[in-house]
Amino acid sequence: MQSHLSADYIYCDTPAALESALPTLRSSPALSFDCEGHNLGRLNGSLSLLTFRTMFPSPDATNTTFIIDALTLPASSLLPIFSLLESDTVLKVVFDGRMDFSCLLHQHAVRLQHVLDLQLVDIASRARRGEGEHAQMARLARVVSWADLAANRGAYRSIHRLAGLRPCAEEHKVAIPPRGAYMDHSAWLQRPLSARELTYAANDVLIISRVYAAFAAAAYLERYPSVLADSMRYISLWADRPPAEGALERYRSHGLLPLHVIDVDTEAEDQERDRDVALRVCGYCERALPQTCFRADVWDRGDVRQCLVCRAVGLFHPRFDAARAGLRWPPRV
């Protein structure tokens, strides 16, 4: 569903404009939030815009989008915005906040906190909407090896396909503004920004706000009590280092939800820690994971220990596993 309502916004590219936006931003109980930039969150990437939309719950309230120009504003005037991002009282609502988190942490020493990631709520809503294992596998069929999916169904039961923001909004019948022309992401570093670019940024937080409202109305949020803890686990995927060219990025950037983000039994893991049964590191995505994330035959296998998601990624992209092992792909016959 598409609506021809486009987002309006207040563009803050002077300290005075930002100063006058702060009281409204601080008083909103929740803010939809998104960043734009060139190679955002990646090693040597750059932040361009921080975009927020207020989410006052009253039907009479007017909500406003603020686009904050992180490239033009002096670093000192961004400090109140950074403390809002680190605040544990104002909820930040995002859709796939992983690269925003990485950018803020690695380039600005800001640790994004108190976040609700709607991309996880979308996945959790699938079971609520009556989707069973068959539908879960049907979603996976285009992004994993079909032959392996058919032969080893059990290896995919804990794997979920991620949806992008617009497809998610469409699936949930949320009215969204039309997609603009293709944006070259290096354009985010040029100034002045055109109205088209600012509208693009404003539309993303508008869609996030509408998806949030739809999920709240459908009671998906209240039925997902661990959503904030799961969101933090998810967005901090790149807390150890920012993504850069190489094997690690290939096994962490794909269309599958990483394991050990949702359905985490923290109580059982605390007990296991007490018994000194440690998590073990997947040799591919380099994440520490419990035994349930691996096939039984690889749990004791050190460097070649491969979690179920990395296994699915490697089987779908055999050149990834070949490159990691230093082999030519396709193999010479």
Q: Is 101 helix (H, G, I), strand (E, B) or coil?
A: helix
Distance (Å, rounded) from C-alpha 280 to C-alpha 283? Answer: 9
The pair of structure tokens assigned to 244 is: 């850069």
Q: How far is the CB of 105 from Zn ion (least distance, A)?
A: 21
Q: Which stretch binds Zn ion (CB under 5 A): 30-38, 116-124, 179-187, 275-283?
A: 275-283
Q: Which is nearer to Zn ion, 202 or 259 (CB)?
A: 259
Q: How far is the CB of 302 from Zn ion (least distance, A)?
A: 14
Q: Which stretch binds Zn ion (CB under 5 A): 42-50, 169-177, 228-236, 305-313?
A: 305-313
Q: How far is the CB of 237 from Zn ion (least distance, A)?
A: 11
Q: Which residue among 103, 285, 312, 313 contacts Zn ion (CB under 5 A)?
A: 285
User: Is residue 307 near Zn ion by the rule CB under 5 A?
Assistant: yes
Q: Which of 51, 123, 36 is nearest to 93 (CA)?
A: 51
The pair of structure tokens assigned to 202 is: 């404003």
β-strand partners of 327: none
Would you give the DSSP letter of residue 176? B
User: Is residue 310 near Zn ion by the rule CB under 5 A?
Assistant: yes
Q: Which is nearer to Zn ion, 201 or 307 (CB)?
A: 307
Distances (CA, A) of 285 to 104, 131, 251, 279, 320: 22, 28, 5, 14, 12
Would you give the DSSP letter of residue 11? E
Whether the CB-CB separation of 69 and 127 falls below 8 Å is answered with: no
Q: Which is nearer to Zn ion, 99 or 159 (CB)?
A: 159
The pair of structure tokens assigned to 151 is: 């032969």
Q: Which stretch binds Zn ion (CB under 5 A): 184-192, 196-204, 210-218, 310-318?
A: 310-318
Q: Which stretch binds Zn ion (CB under 5 A): 26-34, 72-80, 210-218, 285-293?
A: 285-293
User: Is residue 284 near Zn ion by the rule CB under 5 A?
Assistant: yes
CB contact set of 328 (below 8 Å; sequence gap of 6+): 322
Q: How far is the CB of 24 from Zn ion (least distance, A)?
A: 42
| Per-residue H/E/C for 107-165 | HHCCCCCCEEEHHHHHHHHHHHCCCCHHHHHHHHCCCCCHHHHHHCHHHHCCCCECCCH
Site for Zn ion in 117-176 (CB under 5 A): none
Exposed, middle or buried, 79 (CB in 10 Å: 0-12/13-18/19+)?
Answer: exposed
Q: How far is the CB of 157 from Zn ion (least distance, A)?
A: 16
Q: How far is the CB of 287 from Zn ion (least distance, A)?
A: 6
Q: How far is the CB of 136 from Zn ion (least distance, A)?
A: 19
Q: Which residue among 282, 294, 305, 320 contacts Zn ion (CB under 5 A)?
A: 282
Number of residues that bind Zn ion (CB under 5 A): 5
Q: Which stretch binds Zn ion (CB under 5 A): 32-40, 125-133, 145-153, 278-286?
A: 278-286
Binding site for Zn ion (CB under 5 A): 282, 284-285, 307, 310
